[in-house]
Structure formats: C-alpha cells, structure tokens
C-alpha cells in the first residue's frame, strides 16, 4: 500500500486552483461543499446577499439559490490572478423551477447570467468572495418586472402591489384592511411571503371578491373586498393567517400592527367607455349596449 500524500507547509496551492475548486463545488450543487472552501472567517457577498455572509450563512444562501435553480451551473470564461485576488468571469445558467428566495413563484424561465467573482485566497482556502452581476438582467431573463424608484422622495413614499381576484363582479359590501410595519427589507420579504400564502387560500371562500397587498417603504397593507362585512371573518380560520398572527404576537415579527373591517357608505356606478362612439356609459345598463347601438365592453369587477 502506498503511503498517503502529506502536503508540507511550504507546498502552496495556487490561488487559481483554489478558485476553480470553489466553482467546482458550485457545479456539484452541494451547499456544504461550497461553504467548506472558505476559511473559518471567510466571507461571501454579492448584490443579492444584503451584506457579507459567513460560515453556515454561506451554505444557506447556496441552498436557496440551488432550490430556485436545481440545474444551476457555472462556466468559467476567464481566470486571471491580480493583486486584488483571482478574478473569474463566468456565465451562470439554470432553469427557475423553484421559489426564488422563498418569495417569488418559479417562472420556468432559463437564464444565462454573466458575472464576475473576485476571490481572495489565504492558506489554500478562500478568505473572501465578492461577486458582481446585474440583478436587472437576471430579473428580466426570468420574465419579472423591474421597477426602479426611490423608497421616498420628500413626503411621497413609493412601493409595489399584488392582487388576486375571484372574478365575481358583485358589489362589495365590506372591506378588511390590515397594516404591519417591518424593521428591515428581509422582514418585508418575510411578511410578503406570509401574505401570499394567505391570499392563495382566499378565492374559494364564500363572498370573497379580491385581495390587494401593498408595500410602501417598510409598511405593508392588505385590502380584501367581500360581499358582506361578516364574511371577512372567514380568514381567521385560514392556517397561514393563524401562523402570521402567531409570528406577530408571540414571535418577533414587525413593530406595529393594525386591522379593521369597513362597510361602504356609498358605492357609485361603474362606467364603461363605448369602443364605438367613446361615450361613457354605466355598466349597470340592462341591455349591454350603448345608445349608439354598439355592444359595451365586458363589465369589470369593482376590485
């Protein structure tokens, strides 16, 4: 039997080899193998990490990315050693068949994302990785909307919204409004994930008309419309809703919370524009035709 090869202290593994082995670990799709390439205090950061990661956080990040892209792989297109470290240019390919960061549903789109890693090596292991890629390019390749706007400009706050509808055109009889304030962007994403789970269980509920989730800065609102105020209470039996309430009152989610149910004082008619004569006509006309004789467009739900 041949004796095992022992590396002496003066045998230095080339930094480029360490960098390539790191990419090989990604291509093996093993979060543990990826994290093992780092020294104990080694750090990883890229545009999606919200700051440096260390230790087990690196493995969790890799696990999340691999869950979103189970066939993920990296192709090195150039490999240069500089004073700053090893600079790898790569193209990341994969198909989005899993949830992205546990927030976005899979798009089934395939991406080919170019990027760069600057890898600093110490003692044969990775001291740091700084990754660079264009997040907008990634999102566009996934077929996702890219909205560029500030969180706030003077007294005006900006945000995004999500809606689910039942398709019922009935007149709303009650509105349920909730508000929760988050501490961080990560907490915003956690609350949005819980809200999506809640809203997916709402369409089969009797009297449900629509749900709208709104994010403005770090304040999140939900607005659901029902045919009667009392029907809004059905959400209390929703398991995802119970878990969210538990996270707020017995956990540590959010810094402020409020909920209320509203009954309408006045609901005006819905108006439709005739596509033939451009006249605005109330959607409640029984004939479904404009005064000019043209058929009116399909009546849209209130919410």
Residues 29 and 133 placed together within one structural domain of the fold: yes
pLDDT in tens, 255-278: 999 999 999 999 888 888 999 999
pLDDT score at 105 = 81
The predicted structure's pLDDT at residue 2: 38
Q: Give pLDDT tens digits for 125-153.
A: 999 999 999 988 998 999 887 777 777 78
Q: Which residues pair with 132 in a beta bridge?
A: 116
Are residues 43 and 111 part of one domain? yes
pLDDT > 70 fraction of the chain, expressed in percent and rounded: 94
* pLDDT confidence of residue 151: 75
**CATH number of domain containing 39:** 3.10.450.50
Taking residues 178-189, what's their average pLDDT?
A: 90
The verdict on 74 and 114 lying in the same domain is yes
Task: Out of 19-23, 37-41, 220-224, 269-273, pick the least confident.
Answer: 269-273
The verdict on 221 and 288 lying in the same domain is no
Asked if residue 135 and residue 162 are part of one domain, the reply reads: no
Q: What is the per-residue pLDDT for 1? A: 39
* Residue 286 confidence (pLDDT): 67
Provide the number of structural domains found in the chain: 3
- Per-residue pLDDT of 89-129, as tens digits, reads 999 999 999 988 766 788 999 999 999 999 999 989 999 99
**282 within a domain of the structure (yes/no):** yes
Residues 35 and 134 grouped into a single domain:
yes
pLDDT for the residue numbered 303: 77
Inform me whether the pLDDT recorded for 283 exceeds 90: no
pLDDT tens for each residue of 42-80: 999 999 898 899 999 999 999 999 999 999 999 999 999
Same domain for 19 and 135? yes
pLDDT-based confidence at residue 157 (cuts at 50, 70, 90): confident
> pLDDT tens across 216-242, in order?
989 999 999 999 999 999 999 999 999
In a domain, residue 9? The reply is: no
Note whether 51 and 129 are same-domain residues: yes
pLDDT-based confidence at residue 280 (cuts at 50, 70, 90): very high
Residue at a domain's end among 100, 116, 141: 141
Task: Identify the pLDDT of residue 102.
Answer: 67
**8 lies in some domain:** no
What pLDDT is attached to residue 9?
42
At residue 301, the pLDDT reads 82
Residue 137 lies in a domain: yes
In a domain, 150, yes or no: no
With 70 as the cut, is the pLDDT of residue 31 above it?
yes
User: Do 120 and 103 fall into the same domain?
Assistant: yes
User: Is 77 among the domain residues?
Assistant: yes
Could you tell me the residue range of the domain that residue 283 belongs to? 269-303
1 assigned to some structural domain: no
Is the pTM for the entire model greater than 0.85?
A: no
Per-residue confidence (pLDDT) for residue 205, from 0 to 100: 94
Predicted local confidence at residue 5, as pLDDT: 35
Claim to verify: residue 202 and residue 283 sit in the same structural domain: no
State the CATH number of the domain containing residue 218. Answer: 3.30.70.100
Residues 128 and 23 in one domain: yes
| Domain presence at residue 5 | no
What is the predicted pLDDT for the residue at 153? Answer: 81
State the pLDDT confidence band at 18, using cuts at 50, 70 and 90. very high
């Amino acid at each position: 039997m041949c004796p095992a090869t022992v590396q002496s202290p003066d045998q230095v593994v080339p930094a480029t080899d360490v960098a390539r082995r790191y990419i090989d670990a990604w291509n093996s799709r093993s979060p543990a193998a990826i994290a093992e390439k780092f020294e104990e205090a080694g750090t990883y950061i890229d545009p999606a990490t919200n700051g440096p990661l260390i230790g087990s956080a690196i493995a969790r990040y890799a696990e999340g990315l691999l869950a979103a892209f189970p066939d993920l792989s990296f192709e090195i297109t150039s490999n240069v050693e500089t004073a700053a470290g090893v600079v790898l240019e790569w193209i990341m390919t994969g198909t989005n068949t899993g949830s992205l960061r546990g927030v976005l549903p899979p798009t089934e789109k395939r991406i080919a994302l170019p990027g760069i890693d600057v890898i600093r090596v110490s003692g044969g292991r990775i001291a740091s990785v700084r990754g660079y890629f264009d997040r907008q390019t990634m999102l566009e390749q996934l077929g996702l909307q890219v909205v560029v706007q500030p969180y706030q400009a003077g007294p005006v706050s900006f945000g995004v919204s999500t809606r689910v509808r039942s398709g019922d055109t009935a007149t709303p009889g009650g509105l349920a409004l909730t508000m929760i304030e988050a501490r961080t962007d990560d907490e915003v994403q956690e609350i949005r994930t819980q809200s999506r789970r809640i809203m997916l269980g709402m369409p089969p509920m009797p009297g449900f008309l629509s749900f709208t989730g709104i994010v403005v800065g770090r304040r999140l609102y939900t607005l659901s419309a029902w045919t009667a105020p009392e029907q809004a209470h059905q959400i209390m039996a929703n398991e995802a809703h119970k878990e969210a309430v538990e996270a707020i009152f017995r956990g540590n989610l959010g810094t402020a919370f409020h909920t209320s149910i509203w009954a309408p004082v006045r609901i005006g008619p819905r108006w439709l524009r005739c596509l033939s004569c451009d006249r605005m006509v109330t959607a409640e006309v029984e004939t479904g035709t404009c005064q000019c004789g043209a058929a009116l467009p399909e009546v849209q739900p209130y919410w």
